[in-house]
Structures are given as structure tokens and as C-alpha cells.
Amino acid sequence: MKKLRIATRRSRLALVQTQWVADAVRRVDPSIEIEEIHVSTEGDRVTDKPLYQIGGKGLFVSEVEAYVARGEADVAVHSLKDVPGDQEPAPGLGLLCFPAREDPHDVLLTRDGVDLMSLEAGARVGTTSLRRASQLRAHRPDLAFDTLRGNVETRLRRLDEGDFDAIVLAAAGLRRLDLLDSRPHVRLPTEVCLPAVGQGTLALEGRLDDEALRALLAPLEDPTTRLVTEAERAYLTHLQGSCRVPIAGHARLLEGARLSMVGLVGDVDGERLLRASSDIYLRGRDAATRIEEARALGLEVAEALIERGARELMREAEAAVRRREKLN
């Protein structure tokens, strides 16, 4: 393979992530020529509405994916948390590679570094995520959660200018942009804010039958990230939740080949949060068997939530969001 065409969104974070992939590929094959194809997606263009009102996070994925489907790019770079669990790749395409996961946690950023419980009552907190708002409301129902869209730099600027008292962002994006350590922030523990499925993970999508591409990307694959990702996405797919429902899921590979996972479904006001967790010891001797074990764990956690009423709660949450959309 002499040339690799990489499709990506145009945001600075997406370009930094793509550059990381390009550099990693060059370490595998220094002779390869790399072309970046920058795509403006509807999710990037429409920034005055919450994502769930304009089609969900899949808006960041489908237009980039289309370049690969049409043969105009060889691989697409996605933030995995933007890839819907109920959305199959275009025919002939697949998620070929998951590089090592960055920190999956959420962080609370303020101008002075205070933590969640120290914010004053009525403080305005910016986030576009129903998942984040639902969980944080459960701990601080007296805070005001407002929509905050735009790229990372835009969101940080609005915090600095006083539009918000605090904002919540993914640690992974801030680390990749080298912005986290220079900012007052508090890393939110999973007990307070369980991450989104796939948060912190990059997904490289390409043609399933492109053997040269698969061989080129194989050294970038991280086996641990593959296992936790397969568990989380099996969980999300089985729940059949939409972008209008607060859903979280986080898997970890612990010592002794123990794979642990926690899942959460909530209502939009944070008044009711359902949690379920489980773990297994991976017994498979080959990668394919261990992946199937990981998927089975994700299904088990999803089923536990369903037994506790998750499907009904998801219907109620979606109806509540749709009512709010009509009012707005």
C-alpha cells in the first residue's frame, strides 16, 4: 500500500486525532504517503441545538463514513462514542482497529477549580450530554444545566467569558489537545458520572475486504481496548436506546484477566438512575473467543438493566425529551 487516504472531521480535535493515526501508520511503514480528507459534517455545522434534536451523534460519523463507502478514502477516523450502537457500518465496511484507549472519564472544569459539591446553588453548568446532566443532577439537583455546543475551544472560551460557571467535557479530548493540565478541573469518578460507551477510544473504519489496509492497521490495534469496547458496544446495542436517553456504560480489564463492566440508564432529571454491573474471568485462549466472552458480559449487564425496568425508563425519558423539544 503506497498511499493511505484518511477521512476525518474538520474540528481541531478530529485533526489532532487523525494526525496521531497518521504518525502511528508512518511508524509502521515510513514510506507510505498519507492524504487527509477533511469533511464538514452536519453535526459540526449546526451548533445552536442539542445533538438529539438534529439526529444524534451519528451526524459526526455518517458523512465521514460515506467517503470510504464511495471509495474516495481508505479509512475514516471516528471518536467511538459518536458511533451509534444501533447503526451498522455501510455495506462492506467495518470498525477494523481500536488503538489504545485514552482516559475515558468526564471532567468538571471551572475558572477556580472547585468540585461538583462546592458549586453554588443555581450555578450554570454547560453540557450537551443528557447522560452527564442526568447523573450530575442526581447529585446536585439545585444546579442549572444548559446546552453547550461547539468545539472544545469554543466551550472553554464560553467558560472563560462567564457564560457558564462550570462545563463538563471528556478528559480524552482535552488530553489529546494538551489542554487538560493547564486548566482547573476535577476528574469525575465513575460513581458520580459513568462515561459514555466508547468514550476515549478511536475507531478506524475501512473496507472489510481490504487486506492491505488491515495489515497496515494491525500494529495499531490494542487488545485490551478491543475487549472493553466489544463489551460496551454489545451492551449498548442490546439496550436499543436512542440519543434522547441518558445511557452510560464502562468496562475495564483488571488483573487476572477479570473483565468488569457497569451500565446505567437514567431519566432526564436524574431522579431515577438504574445501575447494573457484572464481571467475568476471561477463559479463551485466542482473541476471537475472548471477544465473544466480552460481548456476552455486555449482554448480561444490559439484560440486568432491562429486568430492572430500563426499557420502560428509556421510553419515559425519550417522551420527556420530545415534550421539551415541542416546547422549544
In the CATH hierarchy, which top-level class contains the domain 222-328? alpha beta
Specify whether the CB–CB gap between 318 and 239 falls below 8 A: no
Amino acid 58: pLDDT: 55
- pLDDT tens digits, residue range 106-128? 999 999 999 999 999 999 999 98
- Report CA Rg, the chain: 20
- pLDDT tens digits, residue range 268-301? 999 999 999 999 999 999 999 999 999 999 999 9
Amino acid 122: pLDDT: 97
Amino acid 178: pLDDT: 96
Grid coordinates of 54: 438534529
Check whether 228 has a pLDDT greater than 90.
yes
- Cβ-Cβ contacts under 8 Å for 39 (sequence gap 6 or more): 7, 8, 9, 10, 63, 64, 67
Q: Compute the distance between CA of residue 266 and CA of residue 243 in angstroms, rounded to an integer.
A: 13
**DSSP-assigned letters across all residues of 174-186:** HHHTT-STTS-EE
Q: Compute the distance between CA of residue 248 and CA of residue 314 in angstroms, rounded to an integer.
A: 12
- Of 44, 74, 82, 103, the catalytic one is 82
Fold of the CATH domain 106-187: D-Maltodextrin-Binding Protein; domain 2 (3.40.190)
- pLDDT tens digits, residue range 235-276? 999 999 888 899 999 999 999 999 999 999 999 999 999 999
Check whether 146 has a pLDDT greater than 80.
yes
Closest CA to 13 of 81, 98, 115: 81
pLDDT band of 155, cuts 50, 70, 90: very high
Residue with more model confidence, 144 or 325: 144
Domain boundaries, the chain: 1-99+201-221, 106-187, 222-328
pLDDT band of 205, cuts 50, 70, 90: very high
Q: Compute the distance between CA of residue 177 and CA of residue 99 in angstroms, rounded to an integer.
A: 17
Q: What is the DSSP letter of 90?
A: S
82 is catalytic: yes
Mean pLDDT, range 88-115, rounded to an integer: 95
Amino acid 118: pLDDT: 97
Grid coordinates of 181: 493540565
144-149, Cβ contacts within 8 angstroms, sequence gap of 24 or more: 147/49, 147/50, 149/47, 149/48, 149/49, 149/50, 149/51
- Cβ-Cβ contacts under 8 Å for 326 (sequence gap 6 or more): none
Check whether 142 has a pLDDT greater than 70.
yes
- pLDDT tens digits, residue range 162-180? 999 999 999 999 999 999 9
Mean pLDDT, range 51-70, rounded to an integer: 74
Check whether 212 has a pLDDT greater than 50.
yes
Check whether 54 has a pLDDT greater than 50.
no
The most distant pair of C-alpha atoms in the chain lies apart, rounded to whole Å, by 59
* 1-99+201-221 and 106-187, same CATH topology: yes
- 0.75 exceeded by pTM: yes
How many residues does the structure list for the chain?
328
Q: Compute the distance between CA of residue 135 and CA of residue 141 in angstroms, rounded to an integer.
A: 10
Burial letters 4-34, b for 16+ CB under 10 A, else e? bbbbbbebebbeebbbbbbeebeeeeeeeeb
Fold of the CATH domain 1-99+201-221: D-Maltodextrin-Binding Protein; domain 2 (3.40.190)
pLDDT band of 44, cuts 50, 70, 90: low
Amino acid 328: pLDDT: 63
Q: Compute the distance between CA of residue 275 and CA of residue 192 in angstroms, rounded to an integer.
A: 12
Grid coordinates of 198: 466508547
Amino acid 48: pLDDT: 54
Q: Compute the distance between CA of residue 261 and CA of residue 194 in angstroms, rounded to an integer.
A: 11
Give the CA-trace dihedral at 27, 172, 17, 47, to 10 degrees: 180
What average pLDDT does the structure give for the chain?
A: 93
Burial letters 53-71, b for 16+ CB under 10 A, else e? bbebbbbbbbbbbbbbbee
